Chains A and B, each alone.
Chain A
Amino acid sequence: MNEFLEHGLNQNRRKFLSKLSLGIGGLALGSLMVPGIFDASNEEDLFANVLPHFAPKAKRVIYLFQNGAPSQLDLYDYKPMLQKMHGEELPASIRNGQRLTGMTADQAKFPLAGTKFNFAQHGANGGWFSESIPHIASMSDELCIIRSMYTEAINHDPALTFFQTGAQVGNRPSMGSWVSYGLGSENKNLPAFCVLLSKGKGNGQGVYSKLWNNGFLDSIHQGVQFSSGEEPVKYLTDPEFIDRGDKRKILDEIASLNQEAYNNIGDPEIVTKIQQYELAYRMQMAVPEITSLQNEPESIVKMYGPDCLAPGTYAANCLLARKLSENGVRFVQLYHQGWDSHGNLPAEIVGQCKDVDRPSAALIKDLKQRGLLDETLVIWGGEFGRTNYCQGALSKDNYGRDHHPRAFTIWMAGGGVKPGVFGETDDFGYNINSLPVHVHDFHATVMHLMGVDHEKFTFKHQGRRYRLTDVAGKVVNEIIS
């Protein structure tokens, strides 16, 4: 008798775990079509009144992730001292014995490399911008530039994982997955978390699906990666001989079979699958309108640059991101590869900026014009910064920079951030002088802008509670308007 009792208890415990991990947002999907799945209204009520914890400023996020680590010294952090001391050795007092990365550790000398580009101040807050990013510079009044970001990771994989999941080890849910779990998608016809990839010509580092993975949350919160080809979402149209009504019936039958399987086995992945089929069915209606970039008016094309019509480019992804976001996608993440300029930086960065400058600025302008900027948070940045000393041979016009996690720049716009320049680095751009912002603090702040208390928003897994900020992170109130 006891074994049966045990089995009965286990069965239900598993059910609790699975249903609760499906999360608040996830409950909204799918349950309409397969009524028996969740008992009546009570599960949604379970969490419906718990998130957001307080009034959100940003309802949606567009994260323009610059993969490979753009050089802040050649874009945003103007250090004339480096130009003055170009070629001289990095003073020991500045480095102060802090460790070097693996690639330059063997270098005998660390000659400082001043930026080859001209900088100028723009906007009311006097932010400095390089000549390679004129369009971003023109949006200076909207930007909240944080020059004092820092992280511990010195190489790409751990640093990327840190930025996306809140820990250098893998297997944690990504930022977008947490947001999807907590807040769900505004529009039930689109995924809550979308990922768009593009590649620049510069030295690239890979991106991989670990970065938008759902970790231990239910797999319905995984980022949906759009394809870079001409069809961002494939197989949208049904085959000729199936009409939508038939499709509906097929899906209903499959759902009831899956439901039976779920009752027998209890595997939460089955529920995810049912919900994904439902989402795909609804996406068939919602997506074609969004991905048909051809119908955008010419003024929009001019604003983003004509590249925005070529699928798979950063510009096209920015335009697609705006369309997804205005249609209710909670978290859109772009990755643009090619910023890892260990060598030949001036040539590579110009190419990268050409890809990225116009569309990034256009995205902010576009959102503002539609009245969406105050509820959309736009983030631009990489996984760490670059060194002020040269990696490889230094010449008058050419240099490379190694990874520098101790101080780098990102900017944010919209969604409740205060425009301005925050945080200062020292004259050599090596250490932070004021307002250090750690990756955890960054996560805490983004969560705060979305109305979520990062310390309260947890998930219990393997015996302990996890959260995006793990056990650290403080909200940076200075940048919140």
Chain B
Amino acid sequence: MDSKKLSQWGEWCVCFLNPLLLLLAIYSEASKSNTILLWFGKLHPLVLHFPIVLGIAIVIYLVFFQNNKLAESTEKLVLVGNALMASMVALLGLFLSKQDAYDTDTLNLHKWGGLSIALISWGLIYLKNIATSIQKIIALTYLLVLLFFTHQGAILTHGENALSIPSPEVKLAEEVKTVDSSLTVYEKAIAPILAQKCVSCHGPDKVKGQLQLQSPELIIKGGKNGSILNGIQNEEAQILQRIHLPNTDEKHMPPIDKLQLTLEELTLLNKWVKAGGNFTKKISELAKTDSLAILAMAYKAPTKGSGDNGNNAPDLKQYNSNYLTVNYLFSGSEEIAVNFFQGSFYKIEQLKNLEKIKDKIVSLNMQGMPITKEDLAIILQFTKLKKLNLNYTKLTLNDLQPLKTITSLKNLSICGMDVNQSTLAKFLEKAPFTEINIWTNYSSEKEFQQLMAINKKVKIIIGDNLDAEIIKLTSPIIDQDSSIIVTSLDVVVKHFLKGTVVRYTTDGSDPDSLTSPIYTKKLRFTKNTILKTKAFKPGWFSSDMVQKTFYKSEIHPDTIYFVTNPDKKYPGTGAKTLIDYELGEQNFSNGKWLAYRDTTMKFVIGFKQARPLQEAHFNAFVDNGSYIFPILSIMIEGSNDGKEFKKLNEARFPSLKETDVVRENKSFSCSIPAGPAYKYYRFTLLNLKKLPTWHPGKGTPGWIFVDELFLN
């Protein structure tokens, strides 16, 4: 289309755009940013050059070429083109400003400036009817406006010194060569933090907010908002406010798209400011336990390139894993200790990786690791090794011969390795060790002496020769808590030591190592049984005998009631406790026991029809430490009417001796001689009324604890 149509269209666009621009600019706070628009905004720096160049050209034209004017239509095209581009650029600029990363004041200036450029460019289209001298003035004004406000844009991106002559770079202190505590806290820790994280925008190159932070004077001088240390008294120093804001806050420093402060740096700045923001206080002047001093000492200013830190010792983090610990022996040491764990996760690459620090490793623990000669070859490179643990590795003594070349190796452990007199002798010759742990039973003292003589410098630590000593086995464990057989009861007998033979009897005789049956699988009992067990193993004394009685409760009374009530603290579940088939446990306060102390235990059982009884067994608890003594005596009486009782039998039981230390269930039985059957039976259980003089509770009554009655 021809230029007239073009300029017409352009003019209409400009007339539309500029009011829109004004509207957007005025209400820009209200509008939300949109990702697409933001992206378009990024084109602003690209296209802004066109209207600037064109604008300058127009100004030159208007000022100097009034006499050589172009054709009207061409002139109009250029003017329209300029205005159109200026408004486009301004629009894109508006989009870009939503990105939030620019200094607000300069941004505002530039924004409105850019808008006025667009508006003036719009106005220029209609300039032709004005007097030439006024045109020139307008043109020059336009130029000034153009240059000034676009320069603001340059400041936004390049800082205050966008146009100034580049000054020599302010060299910040070189990385501190030694950890010198005569440094001030500021020099050691604060200045490097500011240098790395802040000075790029608040320094000699860029002075955002007119704030520079590269030297104490400048920090104190401050910037647009005063010194960052202002407000230090009320703990609201500006710098603290800014660095602690949530990352999403626009005032958060450093800005979110720049490198953030680490926790360590935050802590350091925090503490330094709170302590007064002192630039001259030396680390050594602080108390040794002052966290600021500790942190400042430990702080390593990051340097370019190598991962080395301030005190010339490489960071060991890269060598550590879940199954490998690599640490300096202590803070400030250069010597390293290495520990391997969990053989199933061992990888030779981890050992190979340690070659980088091979000259610093002094202690190596490879106990139980599946290593071969290949791994040993790597270990041989650790020429400063002092202590080496190879317990339970599959190497042989021959493989280890090259270890003797490590002259610093003083302590070697090779437990579990196959050794004999001759291999050991060869190994000990000219060995640099002072101590070697081999843990082999030596049957001959003479052989041991011979070995010692080979290399007098080496202390050989061997195991105990325990073969000669015979120890008694522990008793078998009868794994069945209940003593009551309802219909049948399965009993398991255990012994922890492998290879032990457990023999048992059920006929009341003691188990014999030759004739008694051997326990192989669980036993099943259906009637009253006394189980006796004993453990045997060659090379060991036989164990003590362990026995347990199992009762079949065949007879269940129809009624049961107390004559005297149990102690208030131990009422159990009433008289039923005695016939509920539930045994109380060692924790006698668990509610399953009946206890008597101040009154004598008396209760009656009844049957609907008279029947004879042969035996009564009681399950009781004895614990001398808790003042619970054995039942002193059981008396059984019979009656047919429940009122008149005839004594049937009485059984007495021995009390505890002074030296007894017991805490266990015990059963007490009383038999009833053959005789007439009764409907009712009364039981009287006596407790010790006065504890013996040797007992701490002497003179006071002892307890009896009963929980179950068995009748046959």
Contacts and interface: CB of A to CB of B under 8 A. Distances in A.
Nearest to A342: B696
Contacts of B270: 16
Contact of A201 (B289, B294, B439, B663): B663
Interface residues of A, number: 79
B298 A46 contact: yes
A343 B694 CA distance: 8
Interface in B497-553: 497-498, 540
Interface string A278-289: 000010011000
Contacts of B328: 49
A371 B339 contact: no
A81 interface: no
Contact of A307 (B264, B266, B411, B474): B474
A369 B391 CA distance: 10
Nearest to B390: A371
A202 B471 CA distance: 24
B700 interface: no
Interface string B477-506: 100000000000000000011100000000
Nearest to B389: A371
A49 B332 contact: yes
B325 A458 contact: no
Contacts of B461: 368-369, 371
B463 interface: yes
Contacts of B341: 186-189, 286, 327-328
Nearest to A203: B625
Interface in A16-33: 16, 19-20, 28, 32
A63 to B, nearest CB: 21
A429 to B, nearest CB: 23
A460 interface: yes
B694 A398 contact: yes
Contacts of B411: 371, 374
A40 B298 contact: no
Interface string A368-384: 11111010000000000
A87 interface: no
Interface stretch (A158-166, A169-177, A295-303): A295-303
Given A16-B263, A188-B322, A294-B498, A328 B466 contact: no
A314 to B, nearest CB: 13
B333 interface: yes
Given A189-B322, A294-B498, A371 B391 contact: yes
Interface in B608-629: 624-625
Interface stretch (B241-249, B376-384, B575-583): B241-249
B317 interface: yes
Interface in A24-53: 28, 32, 38-47, 49-53
Nearest to A188: B322
Given A46-B264, A202-B661, A286 B415 contact: no
Interface string B276-296: 000000000000110100110
Interface stretch (A238-246, A344-352, A404-412, A419-427): A344-352
Nearest to B470: A302
A52 B330 contact: yes
B324 to A, nearest CB: 9
Contacts of B477: 310
A53 B462 CA distance: 34
A43 B463 contact: no
Nearest to B391: A370
Contacts of A328: 325, 339, 341
A355 B124 CA distance: 107
> Counting chain A CB atoms within 10 Å of each CB, which of B332, B435, B464 scores highest?
B464
Interface in A255-311: 282, 285-286, 294, 299, 301-303, 305-307, 309-310
A370 B245 contact: no
> Counting chain A CB atoms within 10 Å of each CB, which of B435, B469, B659 scores highest?
B659
A393 B497 contact: no
- Chain B contact residues: helix, strand, loop or mixed: loop
A32 B325 CA distance: 14
Given A9-B240, A201-B663, A54 B330 contact: yes
B329 interface: yes
A400 interface: yes
Given A41-B315, A201-B663, A368-B461, A305 B471 contact: yes
A386 to B, nearest CB: 15
Nearest to B499: A298
Interface string B387-408: 0010100000000000000000
A410 B439 CA distance: 29
B654 to A, nearest CB: 17
B82 interface: no
Contact of B474 (A44, A188, A306): A306
Contacts of B150: none
A105 to B, nearest CB: 16
Interface in B314-369: 315, 317, 320-323, 325, 328-333, 339, 341-342, 344-345, 367
B23 to A, nearest CB: 29
A54 B332 CA distance: 8
A237 interface: no
A460 to B, nearest CB: 7
Given A9-B244, A55-B330, A309-B496, A371 B695 contact: no
Contact of B466 (A28, A302, A395, A460): A302
Contacts of A84: none
Contacts of A43: 263-264
Interface in B237-262: 240-241, 244-246, 249, 262
A5 interface: yes
B698 interface: yes
Contact of A310 (B300, B325, B330, B474): B474
A347 B270 CA distance: 64
A134 interface: no
Contacts of B474: 306-307, 309-310
B361 to A, nearest CB: 15
A392 interface: yes
B317 A50 contact: no
A16 B267 contact: yes
A52 B367 contact: no
Given A19-B263, A47-B298, A53-B331, A393 B325 contact: no
A371 B413 contact: yes
Contact of A306 (B266, B464, B473): B473
B693 interface: yes
A458 B289 CA distance: 8
A371 B437 contact: yes
Contact of B661 (A8, A16, A50, A351): A351
A81 B471 CA distance: 36
A301 B495 CA distance: 13
Given A52-B331, A370-B415, A398-B694, A8 B246 contact: yes
B463 A186 contact: no
B141 interface: no
A187 to B, nearest CB: 5
B441 interface: yes
B599 interface: no
Given A28-B320, A54-B330, 9 more contacts: A50-B331, A286-B342, A299-B441, A328-B339, A342-B696, A343-B694, A344-B658, A370-B415, A371-B389
15 contacts: A16-B263, A32-B322, A41-B317, A47-B298, A51-B331, A54-B330, A56-B329, A189-B342, A285-B345, A303-B464, A326-B367, A348-B661, A368-B437, A371-B461, A455-B289
Interface of A: 4-5, 8-9, 11-12, 15-16, 19-20, 28, 32, 38-47, 49-56, 186-189, 201-204, 282, 285-286, 294, 299, 301-303, 305-307, 309-310, 326-328, 342-344, 346-348, 351, 365, 368-372, 374, 392-393, 395, 398, 400, 451, 455-456, 458, 460, 465
Q: Name the 9 nearest CB pairs between A and B, nearest first.
A: A371-B413, A309-B496, A371-B437, A52-B330, A343-B696, A306-B474, A42-B262, A347-B659, A187-B341
